[in-house]
């Protein structure tokens, strides 16, 4: 029989702080150019980070990024100088000793480091993410079961569809116009909640622009339409 305090032992006792990092224009290093490395590079580029890459081999996608100048390729072998000025490191190699060496050196320098599939060498872990534009939903099992994180993410992807990205793009533009043209901010909050609680999301999900325009006009007043707010793409 498992003791009631057994779950507190070992790596599971680590408690992580869930945060979102602004990596725009920050130098970040990826060591390893396989499929895992490719995914890390693409995520960093999506965050507008300055990406530097070390790897003996590159996938075709990474080679294209290198050729296009979107990634700075530092060579096939890791050297400690590659950590100079780096804000964050992803290590994605199959060399356990190299992974450990990079992790120890990064930590010594105070650089945040993630080693794929080795949480004991990480100063941070990466959650499973549902990305819908400005809506970011992250799921973590604190390294205990990435498989469960993936399954939960799959469920959330069904619940939060592409319409959420459009809705938040719309809400951002509405907030800009409302702030510029209306009075006390206390009244703004009620408008925003009415929009969130309305059928606007459902109209966007159905691709029904006329219905969406009607909801906007009813809540915000005449002149507010998807087109008028710059949302020209089809919901």
Question: pLDDT for 178-194, tens place per residue?
Answer: 887 755 566 788 899 99
pTM: 0.81
pLDDT at 14 over 80: no
Contact between 91 and 99 under an 8 Å Cβ cutoff? The reply is yes
Q: How confident is the model at residue 21 (pLDDT cuts 50, 70, 90)?
A: very high
Select from 51, 120, 56 the least CA-distant residue to 86.
51
Instruction: Give Cα 35 to chain centroid, integer Å.
Output: 18
pLDDT at 183: 52
pLDDT at 1: 36
pLDDT at 4 over 50: no
pLDDT at 142: 87
Out of 5-19, 65-79, 118-132, 221-235, which region has the weakest mean confidence (pLDDT)?
5-19
Q: Rounded distance, CA 132 to CA 199, Å?
A: 19
Q: Taking the CB of residue 6, how many other CB atoms lie within 10 A of it?
A: 10
Query: Mapping DSSP to helix (H, G, I), strand (E, B) and coil, where does residue 139 land?
Result: strand
pLDDT at 232: 74
- Name residues whose C-beta falls within 8 Å of residue 148's C-beta, 6 or more positions apart in sequence: 141
Select from 124, 128, 126 the least CA-distant residue to 151.
128
pLDDT at 153 over 70: yes
Which ranges of 109-145 does DSSP label H, i.e. alpha helix? none
pLDDT at 235: 53
Q: How confident is the model at residue 11 (pLDDT cuts 50, 70, 90)?
A: very low
Query: Quick one: tokens of 2?
Result: 């498992």
**Checking DSSP bridges between strand 128-132 and strand 112-115, what pairing results, if any?**
unpaired
Instruction: Give Cα 17 to chain centroid, integer Å.
Output: 15
**Residue 225, CB-side half-sphere exposure with 13 Å CA sphere:** 9
pLDDT at 137: 96
Contact between 15 and 33 under an 8 Å Cβ cutoff? The reply is no
DSSP code string of 45-89: HHTT-EEEEE-SS--HHHHHHHHTTSEEEEESS--GGGGTT-SEE
pLDDT at 234 over 90: no
Kindly report, residue by residue over 59-105, the tens digit of the pLDDT: 999 999 999 999 999 999 999 999 999 999 999 999 999 999 999 99
Query: Would you give the DSSP letter of residue 151?
Result: H
- Choose between 3 and 131: higher pLDDT: 131
Rg of the Cα atoms in the chain: 23
pLDDT at 167: 96
pLDDT at 233 over 90: no
Q: Angle at which helices 35-46 and 60-67 pack, to 10 degrees? A: 40
Q: What share of the chain has pLDDT > 90, as a percent?
A: 78
When the pLDDT of each residue in the chain is averaged and rounded to a whole number, the result is 90
Out of 13-22, 37-46, 152-161, 177-186, which region has the weakest mean confidence (pLDDT)?
177-186
């Amino acid at each position: 029989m498992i003791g009631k305090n057994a779950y507190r032992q070992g790596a599971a006792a680590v408690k992580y702080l869930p945060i979102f990092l602004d990596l725009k224009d920050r130098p970040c290093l990826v060591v390893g150019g396989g499929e895992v490395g490719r995914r890390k590079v693409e995520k960093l580029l999506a965050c507008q980070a300055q990406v530097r890459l070390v790897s003996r081999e590159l996938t075709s996608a990474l080679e294209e990024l290198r050729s296009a100048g979107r990634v700075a390729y530092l060579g096939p072998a890791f050297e400690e100088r590659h950590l100079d000025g780096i804000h964050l490191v992803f290590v994605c190699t199959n060399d356990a000793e190299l992974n450990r060496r990079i992790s120890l050196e990064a930590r010594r320098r105070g650089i945040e480091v993630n080693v794929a599939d080795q949480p004991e060498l990480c100063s941070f872990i990466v959650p499973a993410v549902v990305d819908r534009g400005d809506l970011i939903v992250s799921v973590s099992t604190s390294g205990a079961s990435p498989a469960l994180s993936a399954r939960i993410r799959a469920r959330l992807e069904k619940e939060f569809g592409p319409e959420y990205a459009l809705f938040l793009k719309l809400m951002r533009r509405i907030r800009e116009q409302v702030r510029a043209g209306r009075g006390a901010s206390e009244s703004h909050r009620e408008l925003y909640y009415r929009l969130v609680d309305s059928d606007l999301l459902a109209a966007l999900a159905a691709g029904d622009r006329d219905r969406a325009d009607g909801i906007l006009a009813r809540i915000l007043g005449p002149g507010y339409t998807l087109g008028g707010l710059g949302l020209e793409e089809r919901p």
